[in-house]
Chains A and B, each alone.
Chain A
Amino acid sequence: MDNDKPNKDLFVPVDTRQDDSEKISRPSLSFWQDSFIRLRKNVGAMIGLVVLIILIVMAAIGPSLNEYDQFEQDLSRAKMPPKVENMGWLGMDGTLSTVQTNESLEQAETNALMRFNNDEDHIETTVLNDGSNGEPAEVEAVYDIYAAKDMEGQNFWFGTDGLGRDLFTRAWEGTRISLYIAFLAAAIDMVIGVAYGGISAYYGGRVDNVMQRIIEILVGIPNLVVVILMILILEPGIISITIALTITGWISMARIVRGQILKLKNQEFVLASRTLGAPDGRILRKHLIPNVLSLIIINTMFTIPTAIFFEAFLSFIGLGLPTPLASLGTLVEDGFQSLQIYPHILLFPAIIISLIMIAFNMLADGLRDAFDPKMRE
């Protein structure tokens, strides 16, 4: 060990007292900076954010990306399958196909042709199994419906619905409306909830007591019941759906805000700050708001997908937006009408609504982790 023979000159005292013993060795980050850094490291949350941004951009510009209008009906082009140029490998080649099974090969072929009105010019049949191995014969028929209807110049990227409306335009219009309802409902929930919870916690005493009893009774009423009853009297529409969603939606926010403020009010760091003579404004700004705000953000992020789900749910049970307005819910509901033969009508709105829900949930999870002081290192 060379430690045994150190240089004599090194044994001179040095003054360390003023040095760096009190130096803070890591950069100090504010609450928001620190949370943001952790959010950025969360892969799931970032994917969610990117997906959301893409969906929001598409909701904004999507409807004007092609020449079709969302209300433009044309029964002659009803239920066209999706077709995108050069995207045939995705199955979006504008054809319908069927597989017919029958004891005899001829019958199976006839059935396959019948399925598409015997329009033999545009049907290609393939024999999958000629029945010689003892099993029933199978014939697949592929029908180029765009050619059959002489619409080869047109492309309906997501296909058309039962009234011949372009689903691409309608899907993004629907996304727009669904997001609009969800954001509006979440914003209203937030305002009412924060105000109610804040007032309840701030005034305390009898005011708090009365306000909490009211909440206890409201919580006992299942929100599903309230939402349905509200829609029944209000008549379906964007505003009435939003109101129905917010009528019980604010309660959880109010409880969270109240709980957090009550907790913070009595915590040592707030007491300490008050003892040191910090004015109310400073306590509010420096201690209460940052701590409550993160909870408000997280809760709102979870409210939005719930609102989107409920809007779709209402459409599904016949309490959704009136026709011809499109929302993701009404589109999905429409899709179910012809699911067995034309699954594409359901497919695209179902994918979009699922992506929105997944993206919001992942982002909200990421935010919750990022804001959680326990996750800090």
Chain B
Amino acid sequence: MDNLLEVKNMHVSFDTYGGEVQAVRGVNFSVKKGETLAIVGESGSGKSVTTKALMKLIPMPPGRIKEGEILFEGRDLAKLSEKEMQKIRGKDISMIFQDPMTSLNPTMKVGNQIMEGLIKHQKMNKAQAKKRVMELLELVGIPDAESRIKQYPHQFSGGMRQRVVVAIALACNPKLLIADEPTTALDVTIQAQIIELMKDIQKKTDSATIFITHDLGVVANVADRVAVMYAGKIVEIGTVDDIFYNPKHPYTWGLLGSMPSLDSEDAELYAIPGSPPDLLNPPKGDAFAPRNEFAMQIDKEQDPPLFKVSDTHYAATWLLHEHAPDIDPPEAIKKRVAGMATSSNSEKGDRL
């Protein structure tokens, strides 16, 4: 059994005054040891909620895991009590958050914030913990650790703070690291540094990673496999190559088409029309149908199951059904996919 994490049919809902918001509507995926899974999707597609639910960090109430299993090393996290979850959080699974400006406690010294997990989970004394904190700061590339640990977060720049957040997450050598858009709130140059740091850490540790982002460029760079989420469901999942070179779901086409790249010939970007559905009243049938130019009658009536494309590649679209007409992605998107192949090949070439 090499699956570190296996999520089966997870539903997460929020009870609001307006009614039940079904943020995650039946998600299945797994993460192997040492593997990096990227989850991509628009804002509001449920990717953050999915990962927060894994650690049971969604506010409950109003949030709740309605059904499904979260098997981590064979234990179902969905059934664990808050006390038991506290033993897992930070030790076995830890998380890197989006905004380093707000995710550190402003009134606590940085060193103490990193130490907290060590003292709690590894029963270290202050001196041991301090030694480990120095190692961690070196690992995440913060120089002058000795004086830095006595400072408060506001004395750090955004990029440095995100390094601190990474250090906190890595403190206890977690088996699974969840990075929730770790670069979104940063300047572009800092983004690159943090991505490099994340890759570096993947090499040095054997943690598996779930990487949430809406930036497909980052995905190609760090991930082994990719899950595309839309309206609280995974609509396509596969290896990076599957998703980038052989996308099957019209939504994935749209995502790839809307990604700018320098070397694409025509400057025009493809835009997905419309906006995501209101998850307070999810539409009948395929949630993507109203925005799908290839929609069929059945999309309006039944939700498509995940169709198998290959052993590693699945997509939830009726276009893959045997009765469906053969539809090729639009020319513009084909071209861009081709362009992507060359550009990311050349990038890989550069690195080698």
Question: Which A residues are closer than 8 A to B by beta carbons?
Answer: 1, 3-4, 6-14, 16-17, 19-22, 25-26, 41, 377
Instruction: Name 19 A/B residue pairs within 8 A (Cβ), A-sorted.
Output: A1-B305, A3-B304, A4-B305, A8-B323, A10-B297, A13-B296, A13-B325, A14-B295, A14-B296, A14-B299, A14-B300, A21-B275, A21-B291, A22-B274, A25-B278, A25-B281, A26-B278, A41-B17, A377-B17
Closest chain A residue to B305, Cβ basis? A3
Verify B273–A6 contact, CB threshold 8 A: no
Q: Which interface residue of A9, A19, A20 has the most chain B CB atoms within 10 A?
A: A19
What 1/0 mask marks residues of chain B from 318 to 350 whose CB sits below 8 Å from any chain A CB?
100101110000000000000000000000000
What 1/0 mask marks residues of chain B from 268 to 296 whose CB sits below 8 Å from any chain A CB?
00000111011001000000011111111
Closest chain B residue to A8, Cβ basis? B323
Q: Whole-angstrom distance between the alpha carbons of A11 and B293 in the complex?
A: 14
A-B pairs under 8 A by CB, number = 64
Question: Which B residues are closer than 8 A to A by beta carbons?
Answer: 16-18, 273-275, 277-278, 281, 289-305, 318, 321, 323-325
Chain A residues lying within 8 Å of B16, measured Cβ to Cβ, are 377
Q: Whole-angstrom distance between the alpha carbons of A112 and B142 in the complex?
A: 86
Chain B residues lying within 8 Å of A3, measured Cβ to Cβ, are 302-305
Q: Whole-angstrom distance between the alpha carbons of A242 and B98 in the complex?
A: 54
CB A370 to nearest CB in B, in angstroms, measures 13
CB B283 to nearest CB in A, in angstroms, measures 9
Q: Whole-angstrom distance between the alpha carbons of A9 and B305 in the complex?
A: 18
Closest chain A residue to B281, Cβ basis? A25
Chain A residues lying within 8 Å of B277, measured Cβ to Cβ, are 25
Chain A residues lying within 8 Å of B281, measured Cβ to Cβ, are 25
Closest chain B residue to A26, Cβ basis? B278
Instruction: Evaluate whether A17 and B293 lie within 8 angstroms (CB atoms) in the complex, with A3-B303, A25-B278, A25-B281 already known.
Output: yes
Verify A10–B298 contact, CB threshold 8 A: yes
Verify A16–B291 contact, CB threshold 8 A: yes
Verify B296–A11 contact, CB threshold 8 A: yes
Given contacts A10-B296, A10-B301, A14-B297, 12 further A-B contacts (CB under 8 A): A6-B318, A6-B323, A7-B298, A11-B298, A12-B297, A13-B296, A14-B295, A14-B296, A14-B299, A16-B295, A22-B274, A25-B277
Closest chain B residue to A41, Cβ basis? B17
Q: Which interface residue of B16, B277, B293, B323 has the most chain A CB atoms within 10 A?
A: B323
CB A43 to nearest CB in B, in angstroms, measures 13
Verify B302–A11 contact, CB threshold 8 A: no
Q: Whole-angstrom distance between the alpha carbons of A310 and B274 in the complex?
A: 57
Closest chain B residue to A19, Cβ basis? B290
Verify A12–B278 contact, CB threshold 8 A: no
Q: Whole-angstrom distance between the alpha carbons of A211 and B318 in the complex?
A: 68
Q: Tell me which of B18, B296, B299, B304 contacts A377 (CB under 8 A).
A: B18
Verify A6–B321 contact, CB threshold 8 A: yes
Q: Tell me which of A8, A14, A22, A26 contacts B273 (CB under 8 A).
A: A22
Closest chain B residue to A12, Cβ basis? B297
CB A307 to nearest CB in B, in angstroms, measures 35
Verify B278–A16 contact, CB threshold 8 A: no
Closest chain B residue to A3, Cβ basis? B305
Chain A residues lying within 8 Å of B275, measured Cβ to Cβ, are 21-22
Q: Which interface residue of A13, A16, A20, A26 has the most chain B CB atoms within 10 A?
A: A16
Q: Whole-angstrom distance between the alpha carbons of A61 and B291 in the complex?
A: 63
Verify A21–B304 contact, CB threshold 8 A: no
Chain B residues lying within 8 Å of A14, measured Cβ to Cβ, are 295-297, 299-300
Chain B residues lying within 8 Å of A22, measured Cβ to Cβ, are 273-275
Q: Whole-angstrom distance between the alpha carbons of A73 and B297 in the complex?
A: 88
Q: Whole-angstrom distance between the alpha carbons of A41 and B292 in the complex?
A: 39
Chain B residues lying within 8 Å of A19, measured Cβ to Cβ, are 290
Q: Whole-angstrom distance between the alpha carbons of A21 and B281 in the complex?
A: 15
Instruction: Evaluate whether A11 and B324 lie within 8 angstroms (CB atoms) in the complex, with A3-B305, A6-B302, A16-B289 already known.
Output: yes
Chain B residues lying within 8 Å of A12, measured Cβ to Cβ, are 296-297
Instruction: Evaluate whether A11 and B325 lie within 8 angstroms (CB atoms) in the complex, with A21-B273, A25-B281, A26-B278 already known.
Output: yes
Verify A13–B302 contact, CB threshold 8 A: no
CB B215 to nearest CB in A, in angstroms, measures 24
Q: Whole-angstrom distance between the alpha carbons of A11 and B295 in the complex?
A: 9
User: What 8 pairs between A and B have smallest CB-CB spacing?
Assistant: A21-B274, A10-B298, A21-B290, A11-B323, A10-B297, A16-B295, A25-B278, A8-B323
CB B294 to nearest CB in A, in angstroms, measures 7
Verify A11–B297 contact, CB threshold 8 A: yes
Verify A13–B321 contact, CB threshold 8 A: no
Chain B residues lying within 8 Å of A7, measured Cβ to Cβ, are 298
Q: Whole-angstrom distance between the alpha carbons of A12 and B327 in the complex?
A: 12
